Chain A
Amino acid sequence: MILHTASEGITFAKKLENDAAEFYESLAQRNTRDAEAFLSFAKENKKYIDQIERAYYGVITDAIEGGFAFNIETDDYALRVDIQEEADYADILEQATEIEKTIIKFYSDAAEQSKSLMADVPRAFMMIARKRESRITRLAALKP
Chain B
Amino acid sequence: MALLEEPIKEVKVLKNYIDGEWVESKGEVIDVVNPATCQTISRVPISTAEEMDAAVEAAKEAFPDWRRTTPLARSRILFRLKELLEENFEEVSRIQTQEHGKTIDESRGETRRGIENVEVACGIPTLMQGYYSEDIASGIDEWVIPTPLGVFGIIGPFNFPFMIPLWSAPYAVATGNCVIIKPSPEVPNSQTRLAELVEEAGFPPGVWNVVNGEKAVVSRMLEHPDVKGITFVGRTSTARDVICKKCGETGKKYIAQASAKNFMTIMPDCDIDRTIAAMMTSFFGNTGQRCLSAANAVIVGDDDAFYEGFMDRVVEQTLKIRIGYGLDESVQMGPVRDKAKKDNIIRYIESGIKQGAKLRLDGRKNINITGDYPETCFLGPTIFEDVTPDMTIASEEIFGPVMSVIRVKDLNEAIEITNANRYGNGNSIFTTSGQSAREFQYNITSGNVGINIGIVAPMAFFPFSGMKDSFFGVLHTQGQEAVRFFTESKVVIQRWF
Q: Which residues of A contact B (CB under 8 A)?
A: 1, 3-8, 11, 57-61, 63-69, 116-117
A120 to chain B, nearest CB (A): 12
Q: Give me 10 other A-B pairs in contact (C-beta within 8 A), A1-B330, A69-B277 excluded.
A: A3-B330, A4-B322, A4-B330, A4-B332, A5-B105, A5-B331, A7-B108, A60-B111, A68-B317, A116-B274
| Residues B329 and A7 in contact, CB atoms below 8 Å apart | yes
| Residues B330 and A64 in contact, CB atoms below 8 Å apart | no
| A interface footprint on B323-347 (CB within 8 Å = 1, 0 otherwise) | 0000001111000000000000000
Q: Which residues of B contact A (CB under 8 A)?
A: 1, 89, 103-106, 108-109, 111-113, 116, 273-274, 277-278, 280-281, 285, 317, 320, 322, 329-332, 454-455, 457
Chain A residue numbers with a CB within 8 Å of B273 are 116
Interface of B is mostly: helix
| Residues B280 and A68 in contact, CB atoms below 8 Å apart | yes
| Residues B281 and A67 in contact, CB atoms below 8 Å apart | yes
Docked pose: A11 CA to B112 CA in angstroms? 18
Q: Look across to chain A and name the residue whose beta carbon is closest to the beta carbon of B271.
A: A116
Given contacts A67-B103, A68-B281, A117-B277, contact A61 B109 (CB under 8 A): yes
Docked pose: A117 CA to B89 CA in angstroms? 23
Interface of A is mostly: helix
| Residues A5 and B329 in contact, CB atoms below 8 Å apart | yes
Chain B residue numbers with a CB within 8 Å of A58 are 112
Chain A residue numbers with a CB within 8 Å of B457 are 61
Docked pose: A65 CA to B274 CA in angstroms? 10
A-B contact pairs, 20 of them (CB 8 A): A4-B322, A5-B331, A5-B332, A7-B103, A8-B1, A8-B329, A11-B329, A57-B108, A59-B112, A61-B109, A61-B457, A63-B109, A64-B106, A64-B109, A64-B281, A65-B454, A67-B285, A68-B281, A116-B273, A117-B274
Chain A residue numbers with a CB within 8 Å of B1 are 1, 8, 11
Given contacts A4-B332, A7-B329, A57-B89, contact A68 B112 (CB under 8 A): no
Q: Look across to chain B and name the residue whose beta carbon is closest to the beta carbon of A117.
A: B277
Q: Look across to chain B and name the residue whose beta carbon is closest to the beta carbon of A63.
A: B109
Chain B residue numbers with a CB within 8 Å of A6 are 105
| Residues A8 and B455 in contact, CB atoms below 8 Å apart | no
Chain A residue numbers with a CB within 8 Å of B111 are 60
B444 to chain A, nearest CB (A): 22
Q: Look across to chain B and name the residue whose beta carbon is closest to the beta carbon of A71.
A: B320
B180 to chain A, nearest CB (A): 27
A7 to chain B, nearest CB (A): 4
Q: Look across to chain A and name the residue whose beta carbon is closest to the beta carbon of B457.
A: A61
